[in-house]
């Protein structure tokens, strides 16, 4: 079901993205909006296939992330792509969303009953706003795809980590998001040469990329916050996951400040930046897997208990294989 949801999300987003690119061949603004619409429908298809559509009205942090935070952020990015409102209002809109993101996600929970210092909420808001505004602006100017791709990777890692820490649904929801983002980016990639031929050099042939990158960053932020506050995602893992896309763009900024040299070329190379962003993600996955093996692996029967009991337990498991009912495999998969 998970693989079907990820592939379904990616396929729907890629197909709609390609159709959108075809329709808006001579209008980059429309193409930017089409890329975001493709992402939205990819996410909806993926969540539907995963049977994880949010409940209405939203009652949990995950529901509020999917029903309120992400759609509002996408609406702002659609307006940015279409050039409907000025840059000042876009910045202000992103700032408002960033400021309200954490209170909306944690609404009605114990976290807002006095123990969460306002400074933490403000710091989180500042982080979201700065990364959203800064990276989107950079991608708009450079047409760089590495950040968007690393956001896909960070979403996958966030999902795996949240699931391995014990919140299966919270983790699995990340995967269709990543699938839809990857599909929309691929469609946008395919459409790039078309727009370059059409002329508008200022968008670097990638009119949908800034919006998709922003969508990925906001999705990653929301998922990490709910995973940290409602699941068992640790603070260090949360920070490393959020840091990964930034590590993919930071060398680019540093490289621009340096004179032309081998070092500058290295900093700007996509391969180096991908490697740099992958390091924290790989560390997070390794630690999460070790934690899963220690705690939940035994609980769900993936890891045999230690010591002499293991032999007995596996012998018992073999005996039980003969007694499995037709529905037991699906029940095991769901656990």
Q: Which of these, 73, 29, 81, lies nearest to 221 by C-alpha position? A: 73
- Token pair, residue 12, equals 């729907």
159 binds other proteins (CB under 8 A): no
Give residues 234-293 in contact with other proteins (rule: CB under 8 A). Answer: none
Q: Which of 20, 54, 61, 207 binds other proteins (CB under 8 A)?
A: 61
Is position 108 an interface residue for other proteins (rule: CB under 8 A)? yes
Angle in degrees, CA 53, 172, 161, rounded to 5: 145
- Per rule CB under 8 A, count of chain residues that contact other proteins: 31
Query: Could you say which DSSP state residue 202 is in?
Result: G
DSSP-derived letter for residue 54 is P
Question: H or E stretch including 125?
Answer: helix 118-142
Between 25 and 295, whose beta carbon lies closer to other proteins? 295
Give the interface segment with other proteins, choosing from 49-57, 125-133, 142-150, 264-272 (CB under 8 A). Answer: 49-57
Q: Dihedral angle at the C-alpha atoms of 140, 146, 149, 153, nearest 10 degrees?
A: -130
Name the one residue in this structure whose structure tokens are 């409602």.
230
Six-digit token string for 174: 């990340």
Interface pattern 301-320 for other proteins (x via CB under 8 A): --------------------
Taking the complex as a whole, how short is the minimal distance between the CB of residue 241 and other proteins, in angstroms? 18
The two structure tokens encoding residue 13: 């987003």
CA 293 – CA 165 distance, rounded (Å): 10
Q: 140 or 232: whose CB is closer to other proteins?
A: 232
13, 139, 147, 229: residue in contact with other proteins (rule CB under 8 A) = 229
Q: Which is nearer to other proteins, 98 or 163 (CB)?
A: 163
Binding site for other proteins (CB under 8 A): 51-52, 55, 59-62, 108-111, 165-170, 229-232, 295-296, 298-299, 328, 330-332, 334-335
């Amino acid at each position: 079901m998970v693989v079907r949801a990820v592939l379904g999300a990616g396929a729907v987003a890629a197909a709609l993205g390609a159709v959108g690119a075809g329709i808006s061949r001579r209008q980059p603004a429309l193409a930017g909006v089409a890329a975001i619409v493709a992402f939205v429908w990819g996410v909806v298809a993926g969540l539907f296939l995963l049977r994880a559509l949010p409940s209405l009205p939203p009652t949990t942090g995950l529901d509020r992330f999917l029903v309120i935070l992400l759609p509002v952020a996408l609406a702002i990015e659609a307006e940015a792509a279409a050039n409907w409102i000025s840059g000042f209002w876009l910045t202000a809109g992103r700032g408002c969303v960033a400021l309200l993101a954490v209170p909306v996600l944690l609404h009605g929970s114990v976290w807002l009953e006095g123990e969460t210092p306002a400074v933490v909420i403000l710091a989180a808001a500042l982080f979201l706003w700065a990364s959203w505004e800064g990276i989107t602006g950079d991608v708009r100017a450079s047409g760089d795809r590495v950040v968007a791709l690393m956001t896909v990777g960070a979403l996958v890692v966030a999902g795996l980590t949240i699931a391995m820490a014990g919140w299966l649904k919270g983790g699995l929801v990340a995967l269709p998001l990543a699938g839809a983002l990857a599909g929309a980016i691929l469609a946008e990639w395919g459409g790039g040469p078309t727009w370059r031929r059409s002329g508008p050099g200022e968008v670097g042939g990638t009119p949908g990329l800034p919006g998709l990158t922003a969508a990925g960053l906001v999705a990653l932020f929301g998922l990490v916050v709910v995973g940290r506050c409602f699941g068992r995602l640790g603070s260090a893992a949360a920070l490393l996951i959020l840091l990964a896309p930034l590590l993919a763009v930071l060398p680019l900024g540093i490289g621009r400040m340096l004179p032309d040299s081998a070092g500058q070329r290295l900093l700007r190379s996509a391969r180096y930046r991908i490697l740099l962003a992958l390091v924290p993600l790989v560390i997070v996955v390794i630690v999460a897997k070790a934690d899963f093996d220690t705690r939940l692996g035994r609980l769900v029967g993936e890891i045999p208990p230690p010591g002499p009991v293991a032999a007995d337990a596996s012998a018992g498991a073999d005996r039980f294989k003969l007694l499995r009912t037709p529905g037991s495999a699906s029940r095991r998969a769901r656990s």
